[in-house]
């Protein structure tokens, strides 16, 4: 806290560096200094803080259901990345607004809290920001953690500051965590055990990703029953392997179309060049193109359309898993009936992938060759249908995670004095 109070100059230099690197929105940079870009709505305001796109998306179903039950509630969602802000802009309901979280500098944090005055603060990550946590608690705002997951790396980093970390963790009233390992880490770092509850991941209870139904019908009619597979949320190093797998799969299925969706659309030019190097004809979504019968690849370098691609493709490779990234949420394809293929690097969702494997609801691949073999095998509709149904059953079994989170949030909210815009 003492450093945070004097860290303005350092933070300004850091923001300038991030701006230059394209990691900040220049039109909204004031929000990172705690300067609100919007007025505070009247009444009770529930503040959700999420680190990234995946965590912020996991909140949408929760916010939707809270809005239905309490139409008078309003919501603030804060994140720290430009990509998450872009996604939230198109996905948040009318009852919610997005702001960038302030950098953890005491004057900026105080400015942020003075303006928004949340009725309840909900953290959906295990990163600990001392000024933000301490100042929120000092104002008497109830603070809870939901959907928490802590890696061994984070635990090992924080354990050397155990005294400070314990002081921060003790400020939280309750914590819902994804797995036993996270619970053990947080307990070891100082969160009182009676406040800890292992509930599973919120992403299990999330609604299916949306899509434009007219666009889905248009694309489906245009593709005319072509066999399709999807490589979704791929990272650098994976596209090469995916394209090699597709080249091999085409030998057995010459009409096969690969829909390739990079995790970060700004990599579209690099991925397009890679496709050309592999000698594949392709169409590009960001250019408004449609895949023709002579195209082997459809490069879907856009944001917010995963619900469309999972509905079109009966087979989905989940990216971030053939390179040591940690994988992405497998329940997104599962909820939409798409078969799940994945690589060995799934540390971000290890418990979920383990349950999918135990239910024979996913298939592990480790090379272009095994990926091509799996794609060709699962083009058999009967095999694909059995796996997709098993995945859907594992996915739907987690809906109670959202129910428990809702009960907990309403319980803490009901203990809070009602607020107005004037405080």
Q: Which residues are catalytic?
A: 55
* CA distance readout (Å), 246 to 243, 291, 322, 372: 5, 16, 15, 6
10 Å CB burial of residue 381 (0-12, 13-18, 19+) is exposed
Beta pairing, strands 257-262 & 282-284:
unpaired
Sheet holding 315-318, edge to edge: 282-284, 297-299, 257-262, 228-234, 315-318, 339-342, 362-364
**How far from each other are the two terminal CA atoms of the chain, in whole angstroms?**
26
Give the relative orientation of helices 162-169 and 130-138 as an angle to the nearest 10 degrees.
Answer: 40
Token couple for 289: 């193109």
Distance CA 56, CA 72 (A): 22
Distance CA 108, CA 42 (A): 23
Are the beta carbons of 9 and 33 closer than 8 angstroms?
Answer: no
- Measured from the Cβ of residue 217, the count of other Cβ atoms closer than 10 Å reads 10
Are the beta carbons of 40 and 115 closer than 8 angstroms?
Answer: yes
Token couple for 310: 């999972």
Question: At 377, is the secondary structure helix, strand, or coil?
Answer: helix
Question: At 302, is the secondary structure helix, strand, or coil?
Answer: coil
- Measured from the Cβ of residue 236, the count of other Cβ atoms closer than 10 Å reads 15
Are the beta carbons of 340 and 364 closer than 8 angstroms?
Answer: no
- Measured from the Cβ of residue 319, the count of other Cβ atoms closer than 10 Å reads 25
Cβ within 8 Å of residue 50, ≥6 positions away: 56, 58, 59, 77, 78, 79, 84, 124, 125
Torsion angle of C-alpha atoms 57, 59, 61, 65, degrees rounded to 10: -160
The closest alpha carbon to 230, from 207, 210, 246, 253, belongs to 246
Distance CA 87, CA 99 (A): 12
């Amino acid at each position: 806290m003492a450093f945070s109070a004097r860290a303005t100059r350092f933070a300004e230099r850091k923001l300038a560096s991030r701006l230059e690197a394209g990691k900040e929105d220049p039109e909204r940079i004031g929000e990172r200094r705690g300067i609100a870009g919007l007025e505070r709505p009247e009444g009770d305001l529930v503040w959700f803080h999420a680190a990234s796109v995946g965590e912020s998306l996991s909140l949408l179903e929760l916010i939707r259901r809270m809005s239905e039950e309490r139409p008078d509630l309003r919501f603030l969602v804060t994140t720290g990345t430009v990509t998450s802000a872009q996604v939230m802009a198109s996905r948040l309901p009318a009852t919610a607004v997005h702001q960038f979280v302030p950098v953890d500098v005491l004057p900026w944090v105080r400015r942020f809290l003075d303006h928004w005055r949340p009725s309840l603060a909900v953290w959906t990550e295990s990163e600990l920001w001392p000024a933000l946590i301490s100042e929120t608690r000092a104002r008497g705002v109830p603070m809870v953690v939901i959907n928490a997951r802590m890696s061994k790396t984070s635990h090992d980093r924080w354990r050397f500051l155990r005294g400070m970390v314990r002081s921060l963790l003790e400020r939280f009233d309750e914590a819902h965590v994804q797995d036993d390992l996270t619970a053990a880490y947080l307990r070891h770092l100082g969160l009182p055990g009676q406040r800890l509850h292992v509930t599973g991941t919120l992403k299990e209870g999330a609604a299916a990703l949306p899509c434009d139904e007219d666009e889905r019908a248009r694309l489906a009619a245009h593709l005319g029953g072509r066999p399709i597979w999807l490589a979704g949320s791929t990272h650098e190093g994976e596209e090469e392997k995916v394209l090699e797998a597709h080249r091999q799969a085409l030998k057995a299925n010459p009409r096969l179309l690969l829909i390739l969706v990079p995790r970060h659309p700004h990599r579209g030019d690099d991925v397009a060049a890679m496709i050309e190097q592999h000698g594949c004809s392709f169409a590009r979504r960001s250019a408004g193109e449609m895949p023709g019968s002579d195209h082997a690849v459809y490069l879907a370098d856009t944001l917010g359309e995963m619900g469309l691609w999972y509905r079109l493709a009966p087979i989905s490779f989940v990216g971030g898993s053939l390179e040591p990234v940690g994988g992405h949420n497998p329940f997104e394809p599962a909820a939409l009936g798409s078969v799940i293929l994945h690589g060995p690097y799934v540390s971000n969702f290890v418990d979920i992938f383990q349950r999918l494997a135990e239910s024979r609801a996913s298939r592990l691949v480790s090379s272009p060759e095994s990926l091509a073999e799996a794609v060709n095998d699962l083009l058999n509709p009967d095999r694909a249908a059995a796996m997709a149904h098993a995945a859907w059953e594992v996915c739907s079994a987690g809906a109670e995670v959202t129910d428990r989170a809702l009960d907990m949030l309403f319980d803490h909210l009901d203990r809070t004095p009602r607020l107005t815009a004037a405080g």
